[in-house]
Structure 1
Amino acid sequence: MISSEGVIGKEKIAYFSMEIGLTNDIHTYSGGLGVLAGDTIKASADLNLPLVAVTLVSKKGHFRQELDAQGRQTEHPEGWDPFRYMMPLSTEVTVKIENRDVKIKTWLYNYQSMIGVTIPILFLDTDVEGNAPQDREITHHLYARDEQYRLKQEIILGIGGLRMLDALGYKVRKYHMNEGHSSLLTLELLHKYEMDVEKVREMCIFTTHTPVEAGHDKFSHSLVEQLMDENTDMEALKRFGGSDRLNMTLLALNLSRYVNGVTKRHREVSAKLFPGYHIHSITNGVHSYNWTSTPFRKLYDQYLPGWAKDPELLVRIDGIPDEEIWQAHRESKKNLIDYVNRKTGAGMDYETLTIGFARRATEYKRTNLLFSDLARLKKINKKGKIQLVFAGKAHPKDMKGKKLIEEVFGYINELKNEIKIAYLENYDMDIASKMVSGVDIWLNTPQRPFEASGTSGMKAAHNGVVNFSVLDGWWIEGWIEGVNGWSIGPEPEEILSVEESKTRELDDLYSKLEYIIIPMYYKRKDEWTKMMNSSIGTIAYYFNSHSMMRRYVTEAYL
Structure 2
Amino acid sequence: MEITDELIKDTKVAYISMEAALDSNIPTYSGGLGVLSGDTIRSAADLEIPMVAICLCYSSGYFYQLFNEKGEQKEKEIEWSFFYEFDKVEKPIEMMIENKTMKVSAWLYRVIGQSGHVIPIYLLTTDVKGNEPWMLKLTGSLYDSTSRWNRIVQEMILGIGGVRLLNSLGYENIKTYHINEGHGAFSTLELYNNYGKNIEEVREKVAFTTHTPVPAGHDRFDYSLVNKVFEDRYPAKFKELGDQDGKLNMTVLAMNCSRYINAVAQKHGVTTREMFPNYDIDAITNGVHLPFWVSKPIKKIFDRKWPNWKANPSVLSNAIEIDDLELFDAHIENKFNLISYQKGHSWNLLDEELITIGFARRFATYKRAILPFHDLDRLGKICQGEVQFIYAGKAHPKDNAGKDYIKKIFEAGDYLYNNYGVKVVVMENYNVDLAHMLVSGVDVWLNCPERYREASGTSGMKAALNGILNFSVLDGWWIEGFKKNKEAGWAIGKFPEEYSESETLNDWERDANEIYETIENKIIPTYMNHDEWLFKCKNAISLAAFFNTHRMVEEYAKKAYQLVKQKPWKHIG
Same fold, TM-score > 0.5, yes or no: yes
DSSP 3-state at the match of 1:95: strand
1:258-337 equivalences under 5 Å are 258-337=260-339
Partners in 2 of 1:261 and 1:482 — Cα distance? 24
Find 1:501's aligned residue among 496, 507, 510.
507
**Are the equivalent residues in 1 in contact too, given 2:47–2:113 (CA < 8 A)?**
no
Aligned to 1:546: 550
The 1:482–1:12 alpha-carbon spacing in structure 2 relative to 1, beyond 3 Å, is closer
Letter in 2 for 1:363: T
For 2:103, the equivalent position in structure 1 comes to 103
RMSD (Å), alpha carbons: 1.5
After superposition, the C-alpha distances for 1:33-66 in whole angstroms (9 at most, x for unaligned) are 0000000000001101111000100111000001
Give me the whole-angstrom Cα distance separating, in 1, the residues matched to 2:88 and 2:4. 9
What amino acid does structure 2 have at the position aligned with 1:131? N
- Please say if 1:55 is aligned against 2:55: yes
Moved more, 527-536 or 305-314: 305-314
Taking every aligned residue pair, what percent have the same amino acid on both sides? 45
Does residue 529 in structure 1 map to residue 546 in structure 2?
A: no
User: How far has the Cα of 1:191 moved from its partner?
Assistant: 1.1
Are the counterparts in 1 of residues 55 and 122 from structure 2 also a CA contact under 8 Å? Answer: yes
1:509 and 1:338 map into 2 onto residues whose CA distance is: 28
Q: 1:517 is aligned with what amino acid?
A: I
Structure 2 counterpart of 1:315, one-letter code:
S
Specify the code of the residue in structure 1 equivalent to 2:514.
D
Structure 2 residue 89 is the aligned partner of structure 1 residue 85 = no
Residues 211 and 217 in structure 2, CA contact (< 8 A), matched pair in contact too? no
Listed as ranges, the matches of 1:406-445 within 5 Å are: 406-417=407-418, 418-445=421-448
Q: Distance in 2 between matches of 1:482 and 1:217?
A: 37
Contact 1:489–1:506 (Cα < 8 Å) also in 2: no
Kept in 1, the 8 Å contact 2:3–2:120? The answer is no
User: In the superposition, relative to structure 1, how do residues 379 and 37 fare at CA in structure 2: closer, same or farther (>3 Å)?
Assistant: same
- Alignment partners' CA distance in 1, 2:37 and 2:502: 34
In structure 2, what is the equivalent of residue 470 of structure 1?
Answer: 473
* Aligned residue runs from structure 1 range 23-38, under 5 A: 23-38=23-38
Query: SS where residue 413 of structure 2 aligns?
Result: helix
Letter in 1 for 2:300: K
Taking the aligned partners of 2:513 and 2:7, their CA distance within structure 1 comes to: 61
Distance 2:506 2:54 in 1: 44
**Structure 1 residue 496 displacement after superposition:** 5.3
For 1:367, the equivalent position in structure 2 comes to 369
1:121 is matched with 121
Deviation at 1:228, TM superposition (A): 1.5
Partner of 1:185: 187
Q: Is the 8 A contact 2:355 2:386 kept in 1?
A: yes
TM value normalised by structure 1:
0.97
How many Å separate the matches in 2 of 1:38 and 1:8? Answer: 21
Equivalent in 450, 453, 460 of residue 447 of structure 1 = 450
SS, match of residue 451 in structure 2: coil
Question: Aligned partners of 1:500 and 1:252: how far apart in 2?
Answer: 31
Alpha-carbon displacement from aligned partner over 1:461-487 (angstroms, at most 9, x marks no partner): 010000000011110010147411110
Cα distance change of structure 1 residues 507 and 277 upon mapping to structure 2, 3 Å threshold = same
Paired residue for 1:150?
151
**Which AA in structure 1 matches 2:400?**
M
TM-score (norm 2): 0.94
Cα distance, 1:497 vs. partner?
A: 5.0
Q: Name the amino acid aligned to 2:451.
A: R
Distance in 2, Cα, partners of 1:70 & 1:348: 20
The whole-number CA distance in structure 1 between the counterparts of 2:2 and 2:8 is 8
> Structure 1: where are the runs of 5+ without partners?
none
Select between 281-290 and 112-121 the one with higher mean Cα deviation.
112-121
- Distance in 1 between residues matched to 2:6 and 2:168, nearest whole Å: 10
- Could you give the per-residue CA deviations for residues 344-366 of structure 1, whole angstroms, max 9, x where no partner exists? 03222222111000111121111
**Distance (Å, rounded) in 2 between the aligned partners of 1:29 and 1:482:** 33
> What is the distance in 2 between the residues matched to 1:137 and 1:247?
25
Q: 1:65 to 1:500 in 2, by over 3 A?
A: closer
Partner of 2:560: 556
Tell me the secondary structure at the aligned position of residue 343 of structure 1: coil
**Change beyond 3 A, Cα 1:499–1:458:** closer
Query: Is the Cα contact below 8 Å between 1:357 and 1:442 reproduced in 2?
Result: yes
Asked if the contact 1:490–1:505 (Cα under 8 Å) also holds between the matched residues in 2, the reply is no
1:240 aligns with 2:241: yes
Conserved? CA contact 1:442–1:467, under 8 Å: yes
Q: How does 1:162-177 map to 2 (within 5 A)?
A: 162-170=163-171, 171-177=173-179
CA distance in 1 between counterparts of 2:560 and 2:316 reads: 26
Conserved? CA contact 1:52–1:120, under 8 Å = yes
Task: Using the TM superposition, give the Cα deviation of residue 500 of structure 1 relative to its aligned residue in structure 2, in angstroms.
Answer: 6.3
Letter in 1 for 2:357: I
The 8 Å contact of residues 27 and 79 in structure 1, kept in 2 or not, is answered as no
Quote how far apart the aligned CAs of 1:498 are. 4.3
Map of 1:344 onto structure 2: 346
Deviation string 1:386-420 (CA, Å, 9 cap, x unpaired) is 01100011110111100110011111211124111
CA distance in 2, matches of 1:321, 1:114: 28
- Find the counterpart in structure 2 of residue 489 from structure 1: 493
> Distance between the aligned counterparts of 2:475 and 2:377, measured in 1?
28
Other structure's SS at 1:479 match: helix
Q: 1:187: Cα distance to partner?
A: 1.1
- Residue of 468, 478, 482 corresponding to 1:479: 482
Q: Provide the C-alpha distance between the structure 1 equivalents of 2:304 and 2:559, rounded to a whole number of angstroms.
A: 34
8 Å CA contact retained: 2:89, 2:107: yes
2:417 is paired with a residue whose SS is: coil
Does the 8 A contact of 1:490 with 1:504 survive in 2? Answer: no
Please, which runs of 5 or more residues in structure 2 have no aligned partner?
563-573
Output the CA distance in 2 between the equivalents of 1:202 and 1:31: 31
